[in-house]
Amino acid sequence: MLKHRAKAFYIIVIAAAIAYFVWTSNARGTPDRFRLGLDLSGGSHLVYQADVSKLAPEDIADSMTALRDSVERRVNLFGVSEPLVQTEQGGTLASKESAYKLIVELPGVTDTKQAVNAIGATPSLEFLLASSTQIDAFRTSAAATATTSPLESNPDFMALFKQTGLTGSAITRASLQFDPNTNQPQVALTFGPEGQKLFSDITRNHTHDYLGIFLDGVLIEYPTINQEIPNGQAVISGGFTTESASALVRNLNYGALPIPVTLISEQTIGPTLGQEAVRGGIKAGVVAFIIIALFLIIWYRLPGLVATLALAIYTVLMLALFKIIPVTLTAAGIAGFIITIGMAVDANILIFERMKEELARGRGAWDAMHEGFARAWPSIRDSNVSSIITGIILYKFGSTSVVTGFALVFVVGVLVSMFTAITVSRLFLYAISPRNSTRLSRFLINNGFRKAPADNN
């Protein structure tokens, strides 16, 4: 009994500490407030149509991925918190020109003119030169000052590269290949006639220097020029994984052959509307909690009080996980959270009803608790596993952020509710339940308003 009470006390202390963390970290003006989606924080929802009419069918998927990555880099330059950039396929295969769309959500951005102008521009791919002397000196200086940030993102490092006039339009094709001797991934480049001559001059006059590859002003690679390449056939090697080499091929191909995009839909959600949605969600959650708590306490008495405490701990844990994972909360996500508040007590109700059946058979209060938890577990396990499978399917195949946001919160909620209903509730009941069965103890752990059955033990 003392062991159960000590564990229950520790759980309450830990839950209180987590609640304090959630409260203080979400105080106004702190950087760790809950991440709110577009529908709650306000912002802009942009839909673009991608023109893939000039692409071969086998290149469409990679080109859309490259377009999405390029737009993500541009959006990140605005400092937008939690932007969402995703591709969507609709329509029919017969009308592929109108079937591919790019969706951009910018929470907190209500003036979208600058974003629209930047996103709508085609990707810019450039080749810039930097001398080996400057690069080596900069590396030595960075090592001496113990600089840990990547050189590729250092403005002073990128400033060492100078214009060459060679752009992505000079490339006719980039492809992934493997070194026949080492089997290491490489990137092969083929330049067109004009690019071939310029590339030959650059490699002849700047052997052992670095040729930086910039996509939308971001340095993505800077290979060393080992020798003159007069035929327009170049190979970039060294330090690649298959994934990184494939990403570079994609960027080179679709920086050189950008996909035109056209803005077809623009929707702005004001911050006032988002704040109303947040207040409505909070109000719904509080009301749901209070109604459930009152029902549990009135109908189930002592176990109901324990379940209410476990439900409060469940709520605290869920809010903490929203910050730790982190989860971007949308209206659908809040709806999923409120639903799981009700589901969180399902297991408790099954347990309490099993306990009632054991009391009706004449078992004592302590034995009825143990047997009630044991008999309820298979039903709780099966129902929650089926809910988790459903949530995973929704998350995996959901085509919109509304569906995936709901599914993520739903699955996390079911997992946490299993912990609080089985572990926390049982521990609290064991901690406060008397071992000796009396009429009062049987009344307190029974439910409803019928007279508690007599103890046959």
Of the two residues 385 and 72, the one the predictor is more confident about is 385
Shortest CA distance to 304 belongs to which of 312, 295, 315?
295
Sorting pLDDT into bands at 50, 70 and 90, what band is 275?
Answer: confident
The residue among 440 and 369 whose pLDDT is bigger is 369
Distances (CA, A) of 428 to 286, 306, 346, 432, 434: 23, 6, 17, 6, 12
Distance of CA 20 to the CA centre of its chain: 25
Q: What is the pLDDT of residues 294-307, one digit of tens each?
A: 988 888 888 888 88
Question: In the prediction, which pLDDT does 94 show?
Answer: 44
Model pLDDT, residue 451: 55
**Looking at residue 257, what is its pLDDT?**
44
Q: Is the pLDDT of residue 93 over 50?
A: no
pLDDT score for 114: 65
Rounded to whole angstroms, how far apart are CA atoms 321 and 324? 5
In which band, very low, low, confident or very high, does the pLDDT at 113 lie, cut at 50, 70 and 90?
A: confident
Residue 233's beta-bridge partner residues?
190
Scan for tokens 């390029």, then name that residue. Answer: 70
**Per-residue pLDDT for 213 more than 90?**
no
Give the pLDDT score at 202. 92
Per-residue burial over 273-292, b if 16 or more Cβ lie within 10 Å, else e, is ebeebbeebeeebeeebeeb
Strand order of the β-sheet with 162-167 is 162-167, 125-130, 210-215, 218-221
Check residue 204 and give its pLDDT: 92
pLDDT at 268 over 80: no
DSSP string, 432-448: H--SS--HHHHHHHS-S
In this structure, the strands spanning 233-236 and 84-89 are unpaired
Q: Which pLDDT band, with edges at 50, 70 and 90, does 408 fall under? A: confident
C-alpha span between 234 and 226 (Å, rounded): 11
What does each C-alpha distance from 385 to 311, 377, 378, 414 come to in angstroms?
20, 12, 11, 9
Provide the mean pLDDT of the chain: 80
pLDDT, tens digit (0-9, with 9 covering 90-100), for 132-189: 999 989 888 877 776 666 777 788 888 899 999 888 778 888 888 998 888 889 889 8
Which position has the higher pLDDT, 399 or 445?
445
Do 38-121+261-268 and 125-256 fold alike per CATH? no
Pick the CATH number of 38-121+261-268 from 3.30.70, 3.60.70, 3.30.1460, 1.10.3470: 3.30.70
Taking residue 346's Cβ as centre, other Cβ atoms within 10 Å add up to: 18
Give the separation between CA 310 and CA 8, rounded to whole angstroms: 11
Q: Report the distance separating Cα 47 and Cα 141, nearest Å.
A: 45
The pLDDT-based confidence of 21 (bands split at 50, 70, 90) is: confident
Residue 212 has pLDDT above 50, yes or no: yes
Q: What is the pLDDT of residues 336-393, one digit of tens each?
A: 888 887 777 888 888 888 888 887 888 877 788 888 888 888 888 898 899 999 989 9
Q: Give the per-residue pLDDT at 439.
A: 74
- In terms of C-beta density within 10 A (0-12 exposed, 13-18 middle, 19 or more buried), how is residue 264 classed? exposed
| Both tokens assigned to 263 | 């803005």
> What's the pLDDT at 274?
64
* Range name among 4-18, 68-82, 125-139, 388-402 with the lowest pLDDT average: 68-82
Average pLDDT value for residue range 256-284: 73
Residue showing tokens 């143990």: 370
Lowest mean pLDDT segment, chosen from 97-111, 290-304, 389-403: 97-111
Does the domain at 2-33+270-445 match CATH 3.40.1390.10? Answer given as: no
Judge whether residue 16 has pLDDT over 60.
Answer: yes
Residue with tokens 């490092």: 157
Q: Where along the chain do its domains lie?
A: 2-33+270-445, 38-121+261-268, 125-256
**pLDDT reported for residue 77:** 58
- Mapping DSSP onto H, E and C, the string for 389-408 reads HHHHHHHHHCCCHHHHHHHH
pLDDT of residue 1: 65
What is the SS3 assignment for 414? helix
pLDDT above 70 covers a percentage of the chain that reads 84
Distance of CA 449 to the CA centre of its chain: 47
Give mean pLDDT, residues 107-131.
73
CATH class held by domain 125-256: alpha beta
Q: Where are the beta strands (DSSP E) in 32-78?
A: 35-36, 43-50
Looking at residue 200, its pLDDT comes to: 92
